[in-house]
Structure 1
Amino acid sequence: MSSCRVLLSELKPWTLGKSKWTRGLLEGISWSGKTFLSTSSCPKVCVVGSGPAGFYTAQHLIKGRQDVEVDIYERLPVPFGLVRFGVAPDHPEVKNVINTFTQTAKHSRCSFFGNVNVGKDVTVDELQQAYHAVVLSYGAEGNRRMGVPGEDLPGVYSAKDFVGWYNGLPSCRELSPDLSCETAVILGQGNVALDVARILLSPLDILKKTDITQPALEALAESRVRKVLIVGRRGPMQVACTIKELREMGNLPGTRPEMVAADFEGVPEALKDLPRPRKRLTELLLKTALEVPGEKELERRGKATKVWGFRFYRSPTEILADPDHNRTAGIRLAVNRLEGSGERAQAVLTGEVEDVPCGLVISSIGYQSLPIDPTVPFDSRSAVVPNSVGRVHQAPGLYCSGWLKTGPTGVIATTLNNSFDTARSLLEDIDSGKLDVSVAKAGSQIVSSLLEERGVKAVTFSDWEKIDSLERRRGEACGKPREKLLTVEEMLKVART
């Protein structure tokens, strides 16, 4: 038991709303006739969301103070957020961060509570009453819409949902995308767009060895997609992917690149003025698009049965339907020109349009955070919680980290730094007295009682380990790292066995 625990006789009563509570120094903390053992000097922090932002925040808080206790709440029965549901199946090395998160979850001052939907099962206000601080780290589960006619036609999907489908996100299980067409168009040129393109075109022998879901594997085995165009509104020098993902596309077995030479006019001459990372990326793009390949590469490309390519200076204006208006038949793209240069260059319409026949359109123009609770400030325009270095504006004791704090940008390493900054702000507020931790808080004891009263049974980290073990055994039986459970019901059944 932590040295921060105090005797029930040291606490005294208080009230909140219609529930009877106690706090302070005499009778213990009680709620609805129950008395809870509390802490007087231990800062208790609640983190909402168990993706990279949530775990990195918890990790830094635990390391930053030897007395802080952190509880992590997660809507799903399983932890790790986009590491489990967003990272491409053929990038297992990226998922190694789960080992670090597991160490944090098993720390004596950290607890995990899955299957708890904050905002529905328990309110943010109730969490604030139970904890000294609440950190919102629940990410971005919404989709940015294109805002063009026809985007609701069958055959149009968001990259978030498509990725969730092949990665086993329960809410995307029924997506069942139609892959019977020859050409797919992906809107957006970031790493997620390239992940989707790679999964659509990868040989099955590669995918069979990953943790991609069995239904996705079966659908891809029947796929007739042979060409993927990756469309962006700006030019080669503004492409948003990283060099690693571009190199993977260039080396993807059974495929060859196919670009439009005119899209690269003036780019070689501009190379000398680019920052080094951007220069290296652009050089690789130029080499892939324009350079005459060597004999070995020429032979490889000659045997390719699938094609991919970037299309620059294009913006979607309409999804075109088939004659019966039953499904997607193509996409109308506006032709752009750039005003300005570098990262700040803006795409400006030229008035020209072109139609591209395709049966599959995947929009990869960004994830979007959603408001979790009406009491939490939310900027609907930028889809973030307004904050200063993680401190939520006009909400003492409330913090945020990850994409909810910054918008959906960067990679896992970016999230690490942003989450550490939030944790640092919180610790500074404790040290300065701005965050009062002298008053006893009962944390998960009261929240668990609330959940029990509402018929919600949380999943512990040891419960998750039962799911993890089963998934690994199922995967081992078919030569994969794991075979994921695809429904919340299945997860809960295993967790409670």
Structure 2
Amino acid sequence: MAHVITRPCCNDASCVSVCPVNCIHPTPDEPEFFTAEMLFIDPETCIDCGACIDECPVEAIIPDDQLEERDEPYLQINADYYNDHDVEGGLVPPKKSPQLPDKPLHVAIVGAGPAAFYAAEELVRKQQVSVDMFDRLPTPYGLVRAGVAPDHAATKGVEAGFAAVAAKKNFSYFLNVEVGKHITQDELAERYHAVIYAVGAPTDKRLGVEGEDLPNSLPATEFVAWYNGHPDYVNLSVDLSAERAVVVGNGNVALDVARILVSDPDELAGTDIADHALAALRDSKITEVVVLARRGVAQAAYTNSEFLALGDVDGVDVVIDPDELVLDPATESAYDDGTLDSTITTKIRLAREFAERPATPGNRRIVFRFLASPVAITGGNGVETLTCVRNTYADATGPSAAVTPTGETFDIDAGLVLRAIGYRGVPVTDLPFDEGHGVVPNAAGRVQAAADGDVISGLYVAGWIKRGATGGIGRNRLCGQETAESVIADFVAGTLPEPTISREGVADLVADRGAHRIDLAGWKRIDQAERTAGKTGGRRRVKLVDITALEAAAQSEPA
């Protein structure tokens, strides 16, 4: 019997370190780890010890004899990886911890998402390091709370690890405290040896087409935040009265929003979707979502696991015209002779299988369109039509094949257009910013005055603001750890600036400026209130989405 990694895989690689036979790849030390859709277990090497199952934070690893029918394709997906990847046995030796100076190290982390927590996790292992985590929202966990789709509850299992970090005695929350408003960067620098910004990439990329700002032409980033109950987007105007929506882009976020739009609201009612979004979806008239991809199926940005999972949504057909599945010459040649990378081979195979499935009368539909780009959005008081141009391959370079417009256009009637073409970082007050890449320039997390410029002592970044909006939870783990290691290395080297003011007065400082700080006890009260409210309806939690209500819950006495 072997174990199999399935859809919820978060790529955080905690399973890799506990495997005694090195049967899980790619490992963080292998180049492909940074672009891998998920991790894979070699069925020929696995010894069924169960260590990885115990370690996995999202319950993605299952013995092959316990797979549900919907997960059986992962047997082949895991095995296929090892058809074209040579791996070496033996575990990577653990890193030797540096000897720290015999004095305290105080670190402030701005942001409370995955990268922030992975940096904190590395730091609080050392008892002499104190970490204070700041976030402007009353709740932690960033995109794990406000970005992961509500019907992907298993993925949110990483929160248990974050909670364990927050429970450490040398960790403190400063939630509901906005850096730049309640405390400045200079004031943090005066009170902490190091300040790590892990503020993510909060805005969306734009299409740059006429009509993009019409009502009901929205960024998927805002739509996701709306249905996940982010306080900033509770009142987002979303009109679901048309029968068709179009999602521009074909990454996992595009698949998430398409799936949510056509899922049975009764199924969503068992999740932690925001109540206002659930009510709107119950009244929705949308029966078809078109997912529009600029390039071909071989270049699709979604992961195979998320694409495969669409076939399991009750009452929904995945519709693909076989004529849309055109491959560029290089990919087609490699596919035919069996030399194509297994991940892309699987992507093509799954799409062709979906294309062969018969439609079910009365089902809602997710329709994939490839090699097409939007050129204009038109309508009177809102979106009515999306005009697209057909693309063709401009070269034959396989996975990175470029496309060019043909001049042939077509219209799609739709009442809602969501652009899901990527997140982008925004400038952070008092920090350098690279506009071209949407990041703070840095070297291994150390903030630089400019790209390739001098390092600014005591300032660091982690996560998407550090490297751009690429990679998920697993990549953020390595990213956060790298930044934490840079902080520790600079502490050992004696290059960190010494605080000139005690950090003990930070709570009073932010309170004087109007912050209603929420600490660990306050967050636990919010968490308990949401979970208690969820029990009545058999839900994971019922999210509080109003700042005032969240603040009140944080102060309430337990029942």
Structures share a fold, TM > 0.5?
yes
2:424 matched residue in structure 1 = 368
What amino acid does structure 1 have at the position aligned with 2:375? T
- Is 1:153 the counterpart of 2:208 in the alignment? no
Partner-residue secondary structure (3-state), 1:108: coil
1:420-435 matches, cutoff 5 A = 420-435=481-496
Q: Which range moves more in the overlay, 274-283 or 355-364?
A: 274-283
**Distance in 1 between the 2:193 and 2:465 partners?**
21
Shift of 1:226: 0.8
- Is 1:480 the counterpart of 2:554 in the alignment? no
Contact 1:254–1:303 (CA under 8 A) maintained in structure 2: no
Deviations 1:155-208 (A, max 9, x none): 111111111111000111001411111111001100010000110111123211
2:168 matched residue in structure 1 = 107
- Is 1:167 the counterpart of 2:228 in the alignment? yes
1:12 matched residue in structure 2 = none
Shift of 1:263: 2.1
Contact 2:533–2:542 (CA under 8 A) maintained in structure 1: yes
1:320–1:418 distance in 2 versus 1, CA, 3 Å: same
2:369 matched residue in structure 1 = 311
Contact 2:392–2:405 (CA under 8 A) maintained in structure 1: yes
1:358 matched residue in structure 2 = 414
**Distance in 2 between the 1:125 and 1:343 partners?**
45
Contact 1:211–1:484 (CA under 8 A) maintained in structure 2: yes
1:118 matched residue in structure 2 = 179
**Distance in 2 between the 1:313 and 1:54 partners?**
37
Deviations 1:42-100 (A, max 9, x none): 0111100001111111001122x331111100110111111110000011111111111
**Distance in 2 between the 1:55 and 1:208 partners?**
29
**Distance in 2 between the 1:247 and 1:42 partners?**
50
Contact 2:212–2:377 (CA under 8 A) maintained in structure 1: yes
2:119 matched residue in structure 1 = 57
Partner-residue secondary structure (3-state), 1:258: strand
- Is 1:280 the counterpart of 2:339 in the alignment? no
Deviations 1:421-460 (A, max 9, x none): 1111221122222325xx4565542322321332223110
**Distance in 1 between the 2:278 and 2:515 partners?**
34
What amino acid does structure 2 have at the position aligned with 1:47? I
Q: CA RMSD in A?
A: 1.7
2:286 matched residue in structure 1 = 225
1:199-238 matches, cutoff 5 A = 199-238=260-299
Contact 2:297–2:347 (CA under 8 A) maintained in structure 1: no
Partner-residue secondary structure (3-state), 2:320: coil
- Is 1:77 the counterpart of 2:77 in the alignment? no
2:478 matched residue in structure 1 = 417
Contact 1:46–1:127 (CA under 8 A) maintained in structure 2: yes
Partner-residue secondary structure (3-state), 2:196: strand
1:21 matched residue in structure 2 = none
1:265 matched residue in structure 2 = 326
1:45 matched residue in structure 2 = 107
- Is 1:327 the counterpart of 2:388 in the alignment? no
**Distance in 2 between the 1:107 and 1:159 partners?**
36
- Is 1:470 the counterpart of 2:529 in the alignment? yes
Deviations 1:293-348 (A, max 9, x none): 4xxxx5xx424521112111111111111xxx211101111221122322322221
Q: Which range moves more in the overlay, 451-460 or 177-186?
A: 451-460
What amino acid does structure 2 have at the position aligned with 1:361? V
**Distance in 2 between the 1:243 and 1:181 partners?**
30
Partner-residue secondary structure (3-state), 2:201: coil
What amino acid does structure 2 have at the position aligned with 1:472? R
What amino acid does structure 1 have at the position aligned with 2:383? T
Query: Out of 378, 384, 403, which is 1:347 matched to?
Result: 403
Contact 1:118–1:372 (CA under 8 A) maintained in structure 2: no
Aligned residues: 444
**Distance in 1 between the 2:114 and 2:480 partners?**
9
Contact 2:216–2:237 (CA under 8 A) maintained in structure 1: no
Contact 1:41–1:440 (CA under 8 A) maintained in structure 2: no
Deviations 1:329-382 (A, max 9, x none): 011112211223223222212222211111110010111211221x20011221
Shift of 1:268: 5.5
Contact 1:201–1:255 (CA under 8 A) maintained in structure 2: yes
1:33 matched residue in structure 2 = none
Contact 1:259–1:309 (CA under 8 A) maintained in structure 2: yes
Deviations 1:110-134 (A, max 9, x none): 1111011111221112111110000
Partner-residue secondary structure (3-state), 1:138: coil
TM-score, normalised with respect to structure 1:
0.86
**Distance in 1 between the 2:403 and 2:183 partners?**
44
**Distance in 2 between the 1:440 and 1:126 partners?**
10
What amino acid does structure 1 have at the position aligned with 2:289? V
**Distance in 2 between the 1:205 and 1:419 partners?**
38
Q: Which runs of 5+ in 2 are unaligned?
A: 1-100, 450-455
**Distance in 1 between the 2:102 and 2:482 partners?**
26
- Structure number with greater Rg is 1
Q: Which runs of 5+ in 1 are unaligned?
A: 1-38
Q: Which range moves more in the overlay, 280-289 or 117-126?
A: 280-289
**Distance in 2 between the 1:366 and 1:166 partners?**
18
1:427–1:149 distance in 2 versus 1, CA, 3 Å: same
Contact 1:337–1:350 (CA under 8 A) maintained in structure 2: yes
**Distance in 1 between the 2:405 and 2:266 partners?**
43
1:480–1:176 distance in 2 versus 1, CA, 3 Å: farther
Contact 2:138–2:176 (CA under 8 A) maintained in structure 1: yes
Partner-residue secondary structure (3-state), 1:284: helix
Contact 2:516–2:551 (CA under 8 A) maintained in structure 1: no
Partner-residue secondary structure (3-state), 1:419: helix
Partner-residue secondary structure (3-state), 1:397: strand
2:189 matched residue in structure 1 = 128
1:454 matched residue in structure 2 = 513
